[in-house]
Amino acid sequence: MATHNISDSVIRRLPRYYRFLGDLHNAGISRISSRELSERMGLTASQIRQDLNCFGGFGQQGYGYNIDLLQAEIGQILGLDRPQNAVLLGAGNLGRALAQHIDFSRRGFHLIGVFDRKEALFGQVIRGLPVRDVATLDDFCRDNYPSVAIMCIPKEEAEPMVDQLVRLGVTGFWNFSHFDIAMKYPNVSVENVHFGDSLMTLSYRLHND
């Protein structure tokens, strides 16, 4: 599937295009020009055309873009049509909230297992999945081969856990812990979500904008 080298900036804009196109679809609109889309999204029309043309010519001169077709294309580019199995490590406040709050299937994932090390949580059901003893992770992975792990455990516990998961074939991490996975495993895909960092950048802007 790998189109040549698409820059991270472009990739990070794709989900936003996908969302806006979904909204336009819901509003009953069927076609749009790069200029109009740019006004709605606060980008330049040029950038939109450049971005899309990294992947192919989805528009038509004199007409613009067909919204449904373009959204479907972007969905495919993002791989939303080929969902990957994911396990959640850590069923604390954050892990539970993510499991309950995120529509994984619409984002290209299938959540198949939830693990924690606290005995008190074992068997508790979250979004239809029982919390399992992390001691049973090996067996579970050998039977179900998840390719992705969602890390909602403290930094100190993360490193051995990541080692184990990589050994078990996990190639992607959605990382909410502060352990720097990408630094240790440059070949796995890592998407970090660091709430603290995000809040601090807001703090900076509040004081300086």
Partner DNA sequence: TAGATTGTTAATCGATTAACAATC
Residues engaged in binding DNA (CB under 7 A): 7-10, 33-35, 43-47, 49-50, 52-53, 57-65
Round to whole Å and give the CA distance between 128 and 145.
19
Least CB distance to its own copies at residue 147 (A): 7
Least CB distance to its own copies at residue 60 (A): 25
Give whichever of 139 and 191 is closer to its own copies, judged by the CB atom. Answer: 191
Contacts of 17 (CB under 8 A, 6+ apart): 41, 48, 51, 52, 70, 74
Out of DNA, its own copies, none, what residue 174 binds, judged by CB under 5 to 8 A for its kind, is its own copies
**151, β-bridge pairs:** 89, 175
Out of DNA, its own copies, none, what residue 140 binds, judged by CB under 5 to 8 A for its kind, is none
Best CA proximity match to 109, nearest among 149, 166, 72? 149
Out of its own copies, DNA, none, what residue 112 binds, judged by CB under 5 to 8 A for its kind, is none
Residue 103's SS3 state is coil
Give whichever of 64 and 108 is closer to its own copies, judged by the CB atom. Answer: 108
Least CB distance to its own copies at residue 61 (A): 28
Round to whole Å and give the CA distance between 209 and 187.
38
Give whichever of 135 and 183 is closer to its own copies, judged by the CB atom. Answer: 183
Out of its own copies, DNA, none, what residue 64 binds, judged by CB under 5 to 8 A for its kind, is DNA
Least CB distance to its own copies at residue 163 (A): 19
Give whichever of 61 and 195 is closer to its own copies, judged by the CB atom. Answer: 195
CB 27 within 8 A of CB 40: no
CA 23 to chain centre: 19
Q: CA of 162: how far to CAs of 18, 42, 54, in Å?
A: 31, 39, 33
